[in-house]
Chain A
Amino acid sequence: MKLGDIINDVSLDVKTCNVCLDSVITGAYVSDLLSDVMANAKDGNVWITLQTHLNIVAVASLKGVKGIIIVNSRRVDEAVLKKAEEEGVAIMVTPLSAFEVAGKVYQLLK
């Protein structure tokens, strides 16, 4: 499944890296602890979180995470979006909670 296929089924506002939508998704990981994501997210995963600060881009980039879904319509700073665009990480914002979005992505990926 491609990242773009998730966007069609889950209500997501894609803020950066439109070319990332062609990336193949290997799974998803839900966590707000950055060390946990570093330890347990897998290459090609989508990451679901409420964190919006700059370090999420570095963690995603280092782990080969193609997309970050920001929950609860949290606002993401311009600086973070700029960095994500540079690093080739898709930032997608959803009004859904982590629970709801994880449920939907799980249904799509299983």
Chain B
Amino acid sequence: MHPTPLKVKQYIKQALHDDQLRAAVAKATATAVEKRQERANETPYWEQLRETAHACKKEVIDHLASYLEQFEKRCAGNGIVVHWAADAAEGREIIGRLARERGVKKIVKSKSLTTEEIGLNEALIGAGIETIETDLGEYIVQLEGKIPSHLTMPALHLSRRDVGRIFSEKLGVPYTDDPNELLGIARKNLREHFLTADMGITGVNFGLADAGSFCVIENEANAHLSLSLPPVHVAVMGIEKLIPSRKDLPVFLKLLAPSATGQRSSSYVNIIGGPSRTPFKEGPKEVHLVLLDNGRSRIVQDAVLRESLYCIRCGACLNTCPVYQQIGGHAYGWVYMGPIGSILIPQYLGEDEGRYPPFMCSLCVACRDNCPVQIDLPGHLLAMRNRVVEAGKSLPAEKAGMRLWAFFAARPLLYRFVTWFPGKLQLLLPGKTAFPAPGYMKERALGRFDSKGFRRRFYTHQKQGG
């Protein structure tokens, strides 16, 4: 069954009861946060990089139509066939048609959230084409029958024992939970697929508008093998992934790897500008680039929230988010998760289906401080919350609660009484117990009301010169 953000409450409960998941997420995110900080600390011009990256993305998104036309023209000049997909269905249709027309039987894919967004694998597999994820984490998750739980660490929710069990069940190999042996099994299987695939599909990290080429960044070499061994390479790129110039690419390269994995540099930075190796009798004979809108042009229409399109999918906001650290990625119910996911979900899926994720945030602003392109994530989350409320999508109990609060807030004397009274009433309770709150107290403790109350504390504080 497909996950949906409408069921986030159910997913959150499941996640909070899964101790192994929480331990795995906590370990992975803590390591990533620590390493990212080390990299930022050792780079004296880190903030300048962030500001410049922000300025580059602002320039592109504010003038996206012009940059797209320039990019398309230059790509076409380099022999890349450019396709435009207005939505997910059209994206699937284009790629399905390219495969069908070429009699493709097997496709190797490297990790791409954009293809997850359009449900490409299911469509291709449904059309009878063997479609194999080749990033180790994605391969594991595909065998498990789930979607990734992190932007850059897809199988973060699984332990080595889980992976051993999945390999044993799905691949029919003897059980082992040794990561080296597990990788060996995957490497052997996937190498064979790389060598025999008819098409390779990758995502795109950055499109270089002035050069008519695009960049695919990775650590495992699976993306390189996917884009260089099969005779056809199809890359799927969200229209927001452009940067103005190839000369701006180093700014982003210097930010992406440290923010994502804490590495100084990713192991492989591939730049593809067409079927360039054909004269050398090697590489794909055709390179296709699918430019995907799927709601992005609608987001650009919002002068404030368009900033969410600056995202370079590093996952730093997830790693540092206290909510994500507790519940992991599947709890968000879609392919994007964490703070950036909570903003993108309602924008892509609509404020009805995506009404819950913007509230999965404590507004601690750690995500904003860690974002390599300085997206004001908490500001956007607040804006999205307002929209959800304005669209009348908030919960009936929440609406009633706010109306009740507004009633008292507009009547200061009454407000003073109802905030003073519970503190006094609780003195009648035995010991230091709190008021009973059925349901709520099953999973957490309800604190005692402050016997002094906020107003009295505030005035005392002021008198003391605070």
User: Real complex partners, A and B?
Assistant: no
Residues of chain B touching chain A, judged by Cβ–Cβ distance below 8 Å, are: none
